[in-house]
């Protein structure tokens, strides 16, 4: 069966995996690990990627990377080549170090990025050697394991300059005082209670991890891109087609919610204006969650993810909110249809 071509998206978030050729070790000592992280940091800066977390194991690596420039393949090619050249020279060997091409699975930011971070950070305690040990011992291993970003996430060590913890911290807790503690509690709960639903979502698609709607969207983008560029190893997708401007969306939301445009982006925890704006800007403006954060004056895309969850929950529970949102979406659908017709 032919392997699927890789879909490269602007602002795509990927779970990236590297595995040693023939399952052999890709690190022989701590000097190798230090060099690996050094090369990784240089590549993050060169390609303007965002590295959210990592975990280095003996014969494989997990990373979560976002690529604003839809350049994951270029980023990984430079990174893998530089480390392989170093490793081969130092250990007087030749040939491939990693097994085939790297693995890359798209990840839905809202609801799934946080769960993925737990899955990655728990890797050291789910290897065969650790799996049968008492929970107390596994907790000790997890909090002392030096070759993942977890210790920085819980405040046990300084964060590397090129690792961005903020979006995941904010998705687990809005209060900066308690974020590190709450994230630690969230991750360590997974040692005894494996997230079976998340693992099932991982197995549901070779292209992505996310909700059924997200999987359908990624599949549609993939098939459209593949139809036009089937000869390419990787296929790149950049946003196109009819989309509404931020000003159009803010005006429509203000009118529907009974507020003025300047009031739209102001923080009021007691109403649904900002959650609704977040939903409409991502759906009809095709903005990333980070871009929406800039419009609303929020600190990160993770904060927007919280807004999106709030409005989704409100739609599910409150018929009045659902009707209001559906009416607004019908209005925006009509505007989009008119633009498409004129185009």
User: Torsion angle, CA of 37/40/42/46, rounded to 10 degrees?
Assistant: -170
Q: What is the pLDDT of residue 205?
A: 83
Instruction: Place 27 in a pLDDT band, splitting at 50, 70 and 90.
Output: very high
Which residue's structure tokens are 């903020």? Answer: 166
Q: What is the pLDDT of residue 334?
A: 78
pLDDT tens-digit series, residues 292-326: 888 888 877 777 877 887 887 788 788 888 888 88
Which residue's structure tokens are 């011992």? Answer: 137
User: Torsion angle, CA of 159/165/170/174, rounded to 10 degrees?
Assistant: 0
What residues form DSSP beta bridges with 17? 62, 103
Percent of the chain residues topping a pLDDT of 90? 41
pLDDT tens-digit series, residues 72-130: 999 999 999 999 999 999 999 988 999 888 999 999 887 899 999 999 999 999 988 88
pLDDT tens-digit series, residues 180-199: 999 999 999 999 877 777 87
How far is residue 109's CA from residue 52's CA, in Å, rounded to a whole number? 12
**Higher-confidence residue: 290 or 49?**
49
Judge contact between 281 and 249, C-beta under 8 A. yes
CA angle 45-89-20, nearest 5°?
70
How far is residue 331's CA from residue 212's CA, in Å, rounded to a whole number? 25
Is CATH 1.10.1750.10 correct for 246-342?
A: yes
Using the Cα atoms of residue 315, residue 320, residue 324 and residue 326 in order, give the sign of their dihedral: positive
Which residues in the chain are classed under CATH 1.10.1750.10? 246-342
pLDDT tens-digit series, residues 242-289: 678 898 899 998 888 888 776 666 655 556 888 898 888 888 887 877
Asked whether residue 239 carries a pLDDT value surpassing 90, the answer given is: no
Q: Which parts of the chain are beta strand (E)? A: 6-9, 12-19, 50-56, 60-67, 103-107, 208-209, 234-237
Return mean pLDDT, the chain. 85
Using the Cα atoms of residue 147, residue 39, residue 81 and residue 47 in order, give the sign of their dihedral: positive
Which residues in the chain are classed under CATH 3.30.70.1290? 6-220
Average pLDDT rounded to a whole number, residues 321-334: 85
If you ran DSSP here, which 8-state letter would residue 149 be given?
Answer: S
Q: What is the pLDDT of residue 319?
A: 84
Average pLDDT rounded to a whole number, residues 143-167: 95
- Which overall architecture, per CATH, does domain 6-220 show? 2-Layer Sandwich (3.30)
Distances (CA, A) of 337 to 252, 255, 256, 284, 330: 15, 20, 19, 11, 10
Neighbouring residues of 71: CB distance < 8 A, sequence distance ≥ 6:
8, 47, 49
């Amino acid at each position: 069966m032919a392997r699927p071509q890789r879909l490269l998206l602007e602002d795509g978030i990927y779970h990236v995996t590297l595995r040693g050729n023939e399952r052999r070790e890709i690190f022989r000592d701590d000097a190798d690990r230090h060099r690996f992280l050094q090369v990784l940091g240089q590549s993050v800066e060169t390609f303007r990627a965002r590295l959210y977390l990592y975990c280095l194991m003996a014969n494989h690596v997990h990373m979560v990377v976002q690529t604003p420039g839809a350049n994951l393949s270029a980023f990984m090619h430079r990174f893998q080549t530089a480390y392989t050249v170093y490793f081969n020279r130092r250990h007087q060997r030749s040939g491939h170090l990693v097994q085939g091409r790297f693995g890359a699975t798209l990840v839905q930011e809202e609801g799934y990025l946080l769960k993925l971070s737990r899955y990655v950070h728990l890797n050291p305690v789910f290897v065969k050697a650790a799996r049968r040990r008492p929970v107390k011992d596994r907790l000790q291993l997890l909090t002392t394991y030096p070759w993942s970003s977890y210790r920085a996430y819980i405040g046990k060590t300084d964060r590397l300059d090129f690792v961005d913890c903020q979006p995941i911290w904010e998705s687990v807790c809005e209060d900066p005082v308690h974020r590190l503690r709450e994230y630690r509690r969230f991750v360590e709960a997974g040692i005894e209670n494996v997230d079976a639903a998340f693992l099932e979502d991982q197995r549901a698609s070779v292209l992505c991890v996310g909700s059924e709607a997200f999987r359908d969207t990624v599949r549609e983008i993939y098939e459209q891109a593949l139809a036009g560029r089937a000869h390419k190893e990787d296929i790149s997708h950049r946003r196109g087609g009819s989309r509404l401007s931020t000003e159009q969306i803010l005006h429509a939301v203000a009118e529907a919610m009974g507020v003025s445009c300047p009031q739209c982006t102001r923080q009021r925890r007691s109403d649904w204006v900002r959650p609704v704006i977040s939903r409409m800007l991502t759906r009809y403006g095709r903005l990333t969650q980070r871009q929406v954060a800039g419009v609303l004056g929020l600190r990160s895309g993770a904060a927007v993810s919280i807004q999106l969850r709030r409005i989704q929950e409100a739609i599910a529970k409150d018929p009045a909110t659902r009707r209001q949102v559906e009416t607004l979406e019908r209005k925006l659908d009509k505007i989009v249809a008119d633009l498409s017709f004129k185009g």
